[in-house]
Amino acid sequence: MTEAEIIKQIVDQFGKDRSRLMDIVRTAHAKLGYLSEETIGRIHSALGIHRVEVRDMVSFYAFFSRKPEGKTVIRLCNAVVERMKGADEIAKAFEEAVGCKFGQTSADGAISLKYTACIGMSDQAPAALVNGVPLTNLRPEDVPKVVAAIRSGKGPESLKQAEVDNNLLQPGPVIFAPSERGEALRAAVNRTPEEVITEINKARLRGRGGAGFPTAMKWDFCRKAKADEHFVICNADEGEPGTFKDRVILTSQADLVFEGMTVAGYAVGAKQGFLYLRAEYEYLLPHLENVLAKRRRLGLLGKDLCGREGVDFEIRIQLGAGAYVCGEESALIESLEGKRGAPRDRPPFPVQKGYRNQPTSVNNVETLCCAARILEKGADWFSKIGTKDSTGTKLLSVSGDCKHPGVFEVEYGVTVEKILEAVGAEDAQAVQMGGPSGQCLAPKDFGRSISFEDLPTGGSVMIFGPQRDLLECMYQFTEFFAEESCGWCVPCRVGTTLLLKKMDKILEDRGTRGDLEQLQSIANTVKTMSRCGLGQTAANPILSTLQNFSSLYEERLKPDDFIPAFDLSKALEEACAITGRKPELEEKHV
Ligand code: SF4
């Protein structure tokens, strides 16, 4: 089959639907190995859209390549926790075994080595994705075996490292307690949609992504927005470094997630739901599709749910392609519509104009599980767990310098100290609560409680032991944001790069008090002037360490009487060598 025929077949497979561009591009990439300018041209002609729209999409996502790659692509996670656990040594071992550097393809064209951001395996780091298959707990001595298995054609699935452990170390009463499939949905359809929303309101359920918006209010706004169609989206794009709880929920409680989506669909008046699954979790897709198929067979998905005529709901899983910003709900919607994941201006909010400009409720995986459990067991039961303003439980993904990394379901109100005890990390120097976009806590904060009224968190808990260079970790977090910025607005796009330059200078012991003041000022600008949540939180690692660990910055500064100088002769050396001219200035210029 020629490439033109392949593209035509793929475009036809997705009904020539422009909004399925993500799937079209993903399928073409999987078939052809990369997306050349000719391929982009063929897709744009077949879909009848502008070439720029396809190029825009292809160039935005980390998992698409525009030049030929190896048949096997190894993506090694180089997030902060992974580096703490030895990812740099693993990288060296891969370079030796494959015979090329990261960012390159082996001479025989068989294997490409790439770095990638957090793949949701920080509890079993270092980890990598090999053509989408996760390999965990890697040790340098494993690497030659991994490469040999790939070269022999066996594939990574045959390796013992291709095992993903749930590491569910503390199941709680809400998410991981046993539940009966369909019970929540039956309880929902026996009420009116308004009564379902009232029950969720009575339970005082708040969104688990970190912001804590009341779920009942979101559903109510969505339901009341006048439109032809309504939609529900489950945001399973957990890209916050250090978080992996959705991976565990989707592995062991997928039914509960789909049940929550179906309840949400009934409440807001939606007949279609989408689960937006991050590309890093593609390996979960067959399992999730199986669960959906089973629900269809049992009458819990599709038409006339639970035997109630006219109560219809269907779910489609949409895979992403590697972009942290798509965790932001409006960026996720753009991505779901087959575009680059650029956040939208708000208002209008998704509950007014979301997917295809129709009212859309976007909810977190954990929130939807809670909603299902509330319908199943009642608002009174749920609201007795946790605190007054933070009812229920919270899932924490704990990683870093601790004896027991894994997932913990805790009641809201638990202190950081208690968590550190439970995971064996009593000597922690700092805790990054809520991932890089959260805050870096000092021991003086360890008595604080995880709750919306004190320490709200999306669930990532990274622990830094006394041996860590905390500022180096903050630098790596900032690097992550600079890399993931969609580039739309200047404070985020330029500000994160300026922050890196200042941090670089301070980390190299070349910083002055003036640099520190500028660092603070730039960080404030990035936080207050950026357009979306990514930029508004990108400076948090720096701002919270400036506040809680100021001495770490102070001790790296040049003395106050130091006068910054610029060595012009040295700076001109290279230019003089090229031009053959002699530097005319031999003095150091201040
Ligand atoms: Fe894009 Fe950053 Fe601006 Fe958000 S803040 S729109 S990610 S550039």
Q: How far is the CA of 521 from the centre of ligand 1 (A)?
A: 19
pLDDT score of 585: 58
Which helix or strand (DSSP H or E) is residue 399 part of? strand 393-400
Is the CB of residue 486 below 6 angstroms from any atom belonging to ligand 1?
Answer: yes
Interval between CA 269 and ligand 1 midpoint (Å): 32
Torsion of CA 174, 175, 176, 182, to 10 degrees: 90
Please give the Cα distance from 74 to 111 (Å, whole number): 7
Among 345, 484, 530, 537, say which to mutate for ligand 1: greatest number of ligand atoms within 8 Å of CB.
530
Q: CB of 485 closer than 6 A to ligand 1? A: yes
How much distance in Å is there from the Cα of 237 to the middle of ligand 1?
17
Amino acid symbol at 508:
E
Helices (H) and strands (E) in the chain, counts: 24, 14
Tell me what pLDDT residue 576 has: 87
- Distance set, CA 460 to CA 33, 240, 407, 432 (Å): 34, 7, 10, 8
Instruction: Report the residue among 344, 531, 540 best suited for mutation to probe ligand 1: largest number of ligand atoms under 8 A from its CB.
Output: 531
* Average pLDDT for 284-292: 98
pLDDT at residue 155, rounded to an integer: 82
| pLDDT, position 70 | 95
Where are the extended beta strands (E) located within 104-167?
Answer: 111-116, 128-130, 133-135
The rounded distance, in Å, linking the Cα atoms of 347 and 349 is 5
Q: Whose CA is nearest to atom 1 of ligand 1?
A: 486
Is the minimum distance from the CB of 493 to ligand 1 under 6 angstroms?
yes
* Amino acid symbol at 350: P
Q: Output the CA 528–ligand 1 centroid distance in Å.
A: 12
| Mean pLDDT value of segment 259-264 | 98
| CATH 3.40.50.11540 segments of the chain | 169-383
CA 544 to ligand 1 center in whole angstroms? 20
CA distances from 163 to 121, 126, 160, 255 (A): 11, 13, 6, 22
Residue 358 reports pLDDT greater than 60: yes
| Among protein residues, the one whose CA lies closest to atom 4 of ligand 1 | 532
Q: Which CATH class is domain 470-554?
A: mainly alpha
- CA angle in degrees (0–180, nearest 5) for 508-539-342: 125
Distance of CA 192 to the CA centre of its chain: 35
Class of domain 394-464: alpha beta
Ligand 1 binding pocket mutation candidate from 480, 532, 540 (most atoms within 8 A of CB): 532
**Rounded CA separation 282/270 (Å):** 26
Virtual torsion, Cα 398, 401, 402, 405, nearest 10 deg: 40
196-212 pLDDT, tens per residue? 999 999 999 999 998 89
pLDDT at site 347: 94
| pLDDT above 80: residue 63 | yes
Separation of alpha carbons 114 and 151, rounded Å: 17
Pocket test for ligand 1, best of 326, 346, 486 (most atoms within 8 A of CB): 486
Report how far ligand 1's centroid is from the alpha carbon of 473 (Å): 22
Could you tell me where in the chain the CATH 1.20.1440.230 domains are found?
470-554
Cα(155)–Cα(467) distance, integer angstroms: 38
CA torsion 523-528-531-532 (nearest 10°) is 80
Cβ(564) – ligand 1 distance below 6 Å: no
**In this structure, what is the dihedral angle of CA atoms 464, 469, 474, 475, given to the nearest 10 degrees?**
-150
The pLDDT mean for the chain works out to 95
Task: Give the pLDDT of residue 572.
Answer: 84
Q: What is the pairing mode between strands 272-277 and 231-236?
A: parallel
Taking the C-alpha atoms of residue 19 and residue 193, their distance in angstroms, rounded to an integer, is 29
State if residue 323 touches ligand 1 by the CB under 6 angstroms criterion: no
Atom of ligand 1 lying closest to residue 532 CA: 4
532 lines ligand 1 (CB under 6 A): yes
Q: Rounded to whole angstroms, how far apart are CA atoms 385 and 382?
A: 6
How far is 82 from 87, CA to CA, in rounded Å? Answer: 5
Task: Give ranges for CATH 3.10.20.600 in the chain.
Answer: 394-464
Phi-psi region of 109 (alpha: psi -120 to 50; beta: other; left: phi over 0): left
CATH superfamily of 72-165: Glutaredoxin (3.40.30.10)
Atom from ligand 1 closest to the CA of residue 530:
5
pLDDT in tens, 496-517: 999 999 999 999 999 999 999 9
- Ligand 1 neighbour 489 (Cβ under 6 A): yes
In this structure, which topology does domain 169-383 adopt according to CATH?
Rossmann fold (3.40.50)
Cα-to-centroid distance, 394 and ligand 1 (Å): 28
pLDDT tens column, 448-485: 999 999 999 999 999 999 999 999 999 999 999 999 99
Give me the pLDDT at residue 563, please.
80
**Ligand 1 centroid, distance to 491 Cα (angstroms):** 8
Ligand 1 atom nearest the C-alpha of 484 is: 7
- Ligand 1 in reach of 488 Cβ (< 6 A): yes
495 in contact with ligand 1, CB cutoff 6 A: no
Condensed to tens digits (0 to 9), the pLDDT of residues 404-445 reads 999 999 999 999 999 999 999 999 999 999 999 999 999 999
Distance between CA atoms of 553 and 108, rounded to whole angstroms? 47
Q: Is 531 in the pocket of ligand 1 (CB under 6 A)?
A: yes
Does residue 34's CB lie within 6 angstroms of at least one atom of ligand 1?
Answer: no
For ligand 1, atom 3, name the residue with the nearest CA: 489
Question: Taking Cα atoms as reference points, which of 179, 348, 192 lies closest to residue 263?
Answer: 192
